[in-house]
Structure 1
Amino acid sequence: MVIPTCDYSKGLSSFPLFMVQFTRFKCGGVCMGIATHHHVNDGSACAYFVNSWTRIARGLELLVLPVHERSAIPQFSTYEPTQVKFRHLEYEPSIPPTFSLGKMCTSMESSFTLSKSLINALKQEATPKQVEISNLSTFEIVAAHVWRTTCKVRGLAPHQDAKLYIPIDGRPRLKNPNPPKGYYGNLIFFAACIAKSRDITCNPLWYAATKIKEAIQRTKDEEYLKSALNFLETFPKDDPMVVLSGPESITSPNLMINSWAKLPFCETDFGWGNPIFGGTGGVRYEGLSFLTQNMDGGFSLNINLFKDDMSLFEKCLYDFKIVSSM
């Protein structure tokens, strides 16, 4: 199924906005693949669309009706370009790659399982005896472990800056009023933090986790998000692609960790029962990664790194004490 394209914005009319492919297996199983354009929706909107579709397929009414108009979100209609009150590291240029861009073709994707016991061990390491940081979230700790491990296996120089991007869902953060529950659009903001490679790899895990927490905490301030919207409004209106991030913006020494842990794809049921697996259809670029939550409380990590770095990354990911001793 392909939803027809439209002239949504300059340069995008040739892209399908939503594609679905079903594959039926001889065993009776079914796989559904989805591809969407992020100018049109984000992960939460995509999950809402699919789960609404499944309710209709089962003869049920929609619990929440869709809302497509951007005007339903007052924050989108009150731009004040002069009111950029904060520094927006997330929209500043990425750190230039530390290698020739031709090397990007030597990257590979791998999947790893982070068990609940491993995550509990990480939590213990991320809680220093002399400092009380018990309010670190599971995501902040796991993301810090991935960031620290990646910095180490990439062989970054001690003084090299490393930048981390984290996509953030703006739905629970935009208030007075909150966006409609059925809003079908893109409300993704970004959190970002930057640190010297030596500080990330040589300090205890709580250091990187605290940096991540501070970056995420900034996006919980609605004034910060409004400032971000005002900042984006300062870009040329005739070039919507200017703020998009290409593959060179997330590759070494940059990294992006995208959490799908809270996306409700586990509720997708066409009448055949809930899915037994949900995940990404591929991680295309070096430096891009996705975290999804497993049924047992652990996580799955899909990440793309250079082939020369992947074997050491796997070793350090599971035996995380190696990182602090290397």
Structure 2
Amino acid sequence: MDGTGNRAIVLNDAGARYVEATADAELSSSVVLELTTGANLLSLYPPSCDGAKELLLAQVTRFRCGSIIVGVSVHHRVADGHAIWAFLFAWGQATRGVRIDDSIPVQQRHDRLSLFAPRDPPQVKFDHRGNEFKPHVGDASGGNGAAHAGDEVVIHRVHFSKEWIMELKSQSQAAASEGAAATARPYTTTLQCVAAHLWRCITAARGLDGNQTTRMRIAVNGRSRMKDPRVPVGYTGNAVLWAWPTTTARELGRQHIRETVELISREVARIDDAYFRSFIDFAGSGAVEKEQLVPTADSLELTLSPNVEVDSLLGIPFYDMDFGGARPFFFVPGYSTVPVDGFIYVLQSFEGDGSVDAYVPLFSTTIEAFKRCCYSLQPTAS
């Protein structure tokens, strides 16, 4: 806390924690599969159980075959995906001894106070309780749905080819040009189309009751939405909020993909500059502390069922990073301790050909039904 009682990050030039490790194994496909969950995955990151105070923890693990894995841990309050990519890309260029790319600003901006200062008086125009904040309920955790006793969450990587993505977009466009929807603009954003498809498929695979309400928590980047002042290119921090499209399992299953994309698009569009400013005012109004509210993003959750969360890394070209041994070929999304059922990451494939990878964690009793429908444009669990 600073002198006014607000949370603060102390920049004291103490540096970051950097660990070098070795693994007496070759990074084969079988080893990669073993590194996707549990203790094997956590071994790729610096230990933080000793109450680490550094803002950044990094570990480089060298394998017998010459491959390396770079594991980076950073709190989401400190940096979002864009900020992490800028750091990793610049690190790779420095490793190779080349000039830092002009697209990576050398002069970073850390000043949150001037960029995100609450207005006086506050202008809270939206309800942020239930979206960004929720009541504190003690030590209760476990998500919105019941955990599956004795079942584990496994991560399935879905690879959507460029051609499949084009067909998915075509399906949305074709429907939008028919009948009463002829005046609607075509919704062809890759993220929104993929998110809509995965939401429908996961809901079908879970076998939810038709009357069950299901929500998608989808990340919205404020870097391009906030206007006055704009977020500078070199801002090193977090500028992400979420949209919450909501429907029922029955409606989600029987509506066309175009309708699901439209639902997502409407909710994402609602998270504009006015919403971000309202959030800043609410967060700085004292209501969070007075009502003992906590963030809705609970790192202790095991399952999001009946809901899903989609975090997009599509705008981040991770495959362009190079630490001296060519482009990466392997990616594992980071979770605090174990994968969270329904917490999806979507990113550009490292093949660099316009294809997309989605990392989908689900309980093992659900994953087989998901696999049977994830490449179908009309997903059902059968």
Shorter-chain TM band? 0.7 to 0.9
Rounded Cα–Cα distance in structure 1 between residues aligned with 2:78 and 2:293: 14
Checking the alignment, whether the CA contact within 8 Å between 1:81 and 1:231 is kept in structure 2 is no
Q: Read off the aligned partner of 1:204 and give its amino acid letter.
A: H
Q: 1:46 to 1:21 in 2, by over 3 A?
A: same
What is aligned with 1:60?
Answer: 99
Is 1:111 paired with 2:157?
yes
Deviates more, 1:64-73 or 1:255-264: 64-73
**TM-score calculated relative to the size of structure 1:** 0.85
Q: Is 2:310 the partner of 1:257?
A: yes
1:286 maps to 2:341 = yes
Contact preservation (8 Å) 2:148, 2:363: no
Aligned length: 314
User: Could you say which residue in structure 1 is the equivalent of 2:357?
Assistant: 300
For 1:21 and 1:204, the matched residues in 2 are separated by 45
Check whether the contact 2:204–2:379 (CA below 8 A) recurs between aligned residues: no
**Gapped regions of structure 2 (runs ≥ 5):** 1-14, 18-49, 136-141
* 1:223 alignment partner in structure 2: 274
2:225: which partner in 1? 173
Contact 1:72 1:180 in 2 (8 A): no
Instruction: Using the TM superposition, give the Cα deviation of residue 146 of structure 1 relative to its aligned residue in structure 2, in angstroms.
Output: 0.3
What corresponds to 1:195 in structure 2? 247
Alpha-carbon distance in structure 1 between the residues aligned to 2:348 and 2:85: 15
Q: 1:83 aligns with which of 123, 128, 132?
A: 123
Q: CA deviation at 1:257?
A: 0.8
Provide the C-alpha distance between the structure 2 equivalents of 1:287 and 1:24, rounded to a whole number of angstroms: 31
How much has 1:179 moved relative to structure 2? 1.5
Match of 1:22 among 40, 49, 60: 60
Distance in 1, Cα, partners of 2:100 & 2:145: 53
Q: 1:223, 1:289 → 2: CA distance?
A: 27
Deviation at 1:280, TM superposition (A): 1.8
Q: C-alpha displacement at 1:196, in angstroms?
A: 1.1
Shift of 1:126: 2.1
Q: Which residue in 2 is equivalent to 1:214? A: 266
Change in Cα spacing, 1:314 to 1:42, as seen in structure 2 (3 Å) is same
- Aligned twin of 1:71: 113
1:3 maps onto 2:16 in alignment: yes
Change (3 A) 1:223 1:250: farther
Residue 272 of structure 1 deviates from its aligned partner by 3.6
Q: What's 2:215 paired with? A: 163
Report the counterpart of residue 9 of structure 1 in structure 2: none
Structure number with greater Rg is: 2
Helix, strand or coil: the match of 1:308? helix
1:140: Cα distance to partner?
Answer: 0.9
2:144 pairs with 91, 94, 97, which one? 97
Q: 1:322 to 1:183 in 2, by over 3 A?
A: closer
Against the structure 1 CA distance between its residues 176 and 92, is the aligned structure 2 distance closer, same or farther, given a 3 Å change threshold? closer
Q: Which moved more, 1:243-252 or 1:232-241?
A: 232-241
Cα RMSD after superposing both structures: 3.0
Query: How far apart are the structure 2 equivalents of 1:60 and 1:240?
Result: 48
Map of 2:375 onto structure 1: 318
Q: Confirm or deny: 8 A CA contact 1:41 1:184 kept in the other structure.
A: yes
C-alpha distance after superposition, 1:71-128 (max 9, x if no partner):
341xx112457422124463265997342x4638532221111122222222232231
SS at match of 1:103: coil
Q: Is the alpha carbon distance of 1:15 and 1:249 closer, same or farther for their aligned partners in structure 2, counting shifts above 3 Å?
A: farther
Q: Is the 8 A contact 1:136 1:210 kept in 2?
A: no
Moved more, 58-67 or 167-176: 58-67
| Distance of 2:279 and 2:221 partners within structure 1 | 14
Distance in 2, matches of 1:208 and 1:27, equals: 46
Q: Does 1:122 align with 2:173?
A: no
User: Kindly, what percent of the aligned residue pairs are identical?
Assistant: 27
Higher helix content, 1 or 2: 1
Q: CA deviation at 1:279?
A: 4.4
1:237 is displaced (CA, Å) by 4.0
Looking at both structures, which has the greater relative contact order when contacts are Cα pairs under 8 Å and sequence separation is at least 6? 1
- 1:176 Cα offset (Å): 2.6
The aligned amino acid for 1:259 is S
Q: With structure 2 as the length reference, what TM-score do the two structures score?
A: 0.73
Tell me which amino acid in the other structure corresponds to 2:281.
N
Unpaired stretches in structure 1, ≥5 consecutive residues: 5-11
1:24 is displaced (CA, Å) by 2.1
Given residue 278 of structure 2, which amino acid in structure 1 is its aligned partner?
S
